[in-house]
Amino acid sequence: VLEFDIKTIRKDFPTLNQSVNGNPLVYLDSGATSQKPQAVIDATTKFYSQSNANVHRGRHALSEAATAQYEQARENIANYFHVQANEIVWTKGATEALNLLAYGLQNQLNQSDTIIITPLEHHANIVPWQVVAQNTGATLSVLPLEKNGSFNTDNCVKYIKQTKAKVLCISQASNTLGNITDLAPLISAAKAVGTLIIVDGAQGAMHLRPNLKALNCDFYVFSAHKMLGPTGVGGLYGRYELLNTLTPYQTGGEMIQTVTLEKSTYRSAPAKFETGTPNIAGVIGFAAAINYLSSLNFAQLQQHEQTVFKYAANELSKIEGITIYSDLSHNIGTLSFNYKSEHPYDLATLLDGFGVAVRSGHHCTQPLMAHLGLNGTVRASFAFYNTVQDVDIFINSLKESIALLD
Ligand code: PMP
C-alpha cells in the first residue's frame, strides 16, 4: 500500500491533465463516471494486443490465458468487497444487475408481498421494481424520507419492522446528494423480519470501500466505470445460497449444464447468470482498477477526499444566493446546489466555459426532485483525485458565472 500522494496520483490519470475551453480541466463529475488511471487503459489495451480470445471455451493457450485473467478479476473484486469469488456475477453495470435481481426474484413474489423502495433511489432502482410489482401483484411501498432528503433512522427502522416486506431496495449513497445511508440499523431491522436487502452500491463502492460480509446485505450492485474501471461492466454480489434461488434473467450458451431440443438444465451461480460472451476486456480493465484502488492507503485517501469536499462545501456556502441540498456531515463528496432560481443547466453551461465539468438536471432521480420540490440541481461530485486548487477554480468560476447571470 502506497502513501497517498496527490501529485503522483494525478499523473496517473491522463484525462485530468488537459485543457477544456482554454482552461485547465476541473473534473467534478465523478458521480456520473470516474476518470481512468493509465493502469486500466494499459490492461485493456494489453488484453486486446496480446491475449485476446474468448473465455471458458477454448483449450488453446490464448483462451486459457484470457479465462485465467477473467476469473482472477472475479477473485480481485471479491477480495475488495470481502466476499467469495463465486458470489460475484459480472453484468454490464449496476442497472443490469438490478434488472437481473428484479427478474430473478419475480418467481418468489406474489400479491401478498411488499417491496420497499426509497424516494432517493436512482431510476435504475425504481423502474425494475415497478415492473415486478405490476407482473406479480406485489405492493410497492416507500421508505419515509425527511423533507431535507435525509433518512431518520428510527422512523425507517420502525417502518421496516412494521412492513415485513419481502425485499428492501436502498442506496448506500445518493447519486444526487451524496448523502451516505446509515445502513447497519436498517439491515438489522430487515433481517429481524426476514426482509431481503438489496443495496445499490453504484455510488458507495469506490468512496466507502465496503466490507460486504460485515455490512450483511443479501445483494449489492456496482458499476466499474464509477470505480476507475471501464464502461459497460459491473456486477452483483449475492449471498451464495440466495444467488442460486434466482431465475436467470437471460439464457443461452455458457450458463447451461445440458441442452436437449426439449429442455435444458442450468449451471450454478455465478455461471448461471453469465450467458453469452462477456465483456472480457472490461472485466480485465476493472481488475486493474481494483488493483489500483487497493494499492492506495484508504484512510489517507478518505481524509484527502473529505478535506477537499469540506473545503468546497464551506466555500460554496459562503456565496450569497446558493442553496446546498446535500447533507454535508455524511457524504461521499457530492454537492447538489442551486443559485437563486437560475436554471441549473445555465450554470453548468457557464462553468463548462471555464473548464469546470459539473452535471445539471434531475440526475435520474425525478422522485427525489419532486420530494425536494425542485426541477433540478447543479451537482459537483468529487473523487480522491480532486484537489484544493480544483475547488478554488470551481468557486471562482462559479462566482464569475453568477456575475454573468445576475
Ligand atoms: N444507481 C446509482 C445510485 C447510480 O448513481 C447509477 C449511475 N448514475 C446507477 C444506479 C446506474 O448505474 P449504471 O448507469 O452504471 O448502470
pLDDT in tens, 336-379: 999 999 999 999 999 999 999 999 999 999 999 999 999 999 99
User: What average pLDDT does range 4-31 have in this prediction?
Assistant: 96
Atom of ligand 1 nearest to the CA of 93: 16
What DSSP string runs through 231-263?
TT-EEEEE-HHHHTTSPPSS-SSSSEEEE-SS-
- Give which of 239, 236, 231, 258 is closest to 249, Cα–Cα: 236
Q: What is the pLDDT of residue 59?
A: 86
Element (H, E) at 10: helix 6-11
Please report the ipTM that was assigned to this predicted complex: 0.99
Question: How far is Cα 369 from Cα 356, in angstroms, rounded to an integer?
Answer: 24
From CA 35, how far away is CA 56, in angstroms rounded? 30
What share of the chain in percent tops pLDDT 70? Answer: 100
Would you call the peptide bond into 270 cis, given omega within 30 degrees of 0 as the criterion?
yes
pLDDT above 80 (res 2): no
- Which residue type, as a one-letter code, is found at position 182? D
How many angstroms separate the alpha carbon of residue 123 from the centre of ligand 1?
8
Find, among 287, 280, 286, the residue nearest to 67 by Cα. 280
Residue-level pLDDT at 50: 93
Q: Is the pTM of this model over 0.80?
A: yes
State residue 222's pLDDT score: 98
Confidence of residue 136 (pLDDT cuts 50, 70, 90): very high
For residues 333 and 309, is the Cβ–Cβ distance under 8 A? yes
Sign of torsion, CA 299 300 305 306?
Answer: positive
Which atom of ligand 1 is nearest to 363's Cα? 8
Mean pLDDT of the chain: 97
Quickly count: other Cβ atoms within 10 Å of residue 126's Cβ: 22
What is the pLDDT confidence band of residue 406, given thresholds at 50, 70 and 90? confident
Reported as a single tens digit per residue, the pLDDT across 231-243 is 999 999 999 999 9
Instruction: Please say whether the beta carbons of 13 and 385 come within 8 A.
Output: yes
Q: What are the start-end ranges of the H helices in 48-182?
A: 61-81, 94-105, 127-136, 153-163
Out of 156, 169, 217, 364, pick the active-site residue.
364
Q: Is 169 a catalytic residue?
A: no
Confidence of residue 6 (pLDDT cuts 50, 70, 90): very high
pLDDT tens for residues 258-301?
A: 999 999 999 999 999 999 999 999 999 999 999 999 999 999 99
pLDDT tens profile 149-171: 999 999 999 999 999 999 999 99
Q: What is the pLDDT of residues 386-400, one digit of tens each?
A: 999 999 999 999 999
Query: What is the identity of the amino acid at 57?
Result: R
Q: Ligand 1 centroid vs 96 CA: distance in angstroms?
A: 10
Pairing type for strands 322-324 and 19-20 reads: unpaired
Pocket of ligand 1 (CB under 6 A): 93-95, 122, 124-125, 171, 175, 200, 202-203, 223, 234, 364
Residue range 199-210: mean pLDDT, rounded: 98
For ligand 1, mutation pick of 96, 101, 200, 379 (most atoms within 8 Å of CB): 200
pLDDT for res 288: 98
pLDDT of residue 152: 98
What CA–CA distances, in Å, run from 164 to 36, 134, 192? 42, 20, 9
3-state SS class at 67: helix
pLDDT of residue 56: 86
pLDDT at residue 39 in the model: 98
Instruction: Pick 57 or 39 by higher pLDDT.
Output: 39
User: From the CA of 220, how far away is ligand 1's center (Å)?
Assistant: 12
Q: What is the pLDDT of residue 177?
A: 98
Gyration radius of the chain's alpha carbons: 22
- Map grid coordinates 433518512 to a residue: 151
User: What integer is the mean pLDDT of 68-72?
Assistant: 96
Q: How confident is the model at residue 58 (pLDDT cuts 50, 70, 90)?
A: confident
Question: What number of other Cβ atoms are within 10 A of residue 341's Cβ?
Answer: 7
- DSSP label of 173: B
Q: Which of 52-66, 183-197, 337-351 has the lowest mean pLDDT?
A: 52-66
Q: Tally DSSP H helices, then E strands, for the chain.
A: 15, 17
